[in-house]
Amino acid sequence: MDAENTVLVIVDVQGKLDHSMFEKKRLFRNLRTVIQGIRILNIPIL
């Protein structure tokens, strides 16, 4: 993986799907960690 050719795509989860997600709190905690790392590496987020 090369930072110059990489982008993080985040899909917004909301509404009914949000309530039925497995381990939702864990998912969001891990997503925050990934976003922090991506920002440190200056990789674009969509």
pLDDT (tens, 9 = 90+) of the chain, 46 residues, equals 787 899 999 887 676 777 788 888 898 899 899 999 999 999 999 9
Counted domains in the chain: 1
Q: What is the pLDDT of residue 21?
A: 82
Please name the residues in contact with 31: beta carbons below 8 A apart, sequence gap of 6 or more. Answer: 10
Alpha-carbon gap, residue 7 to 3, rounded angstroms: 8
Residue ranges making up the domain that contains 14: 3-40
Q: Is residue 45 in some structural domain?
A: no
Q: Which amino acid is at 24?
A: K
pTM confidence score: 0.75
Alpha-carbon gap, residue 5 to 25, rounded angstroms: 30
Q: What is the pLDDT of residue 15?
A: 67
Q: What is the pLDDT of residue 9?
A: 94
Q: Which amino acid is at 37?
A: G
Q: Is residue 27 in some structural domain?
A: yes
Q: Is residue 13 in some structural domain?
A: yes
Q: What is the pLDDT of residue 29?
A: 92
Q: Is residue 46 in some structural domain?
A: no
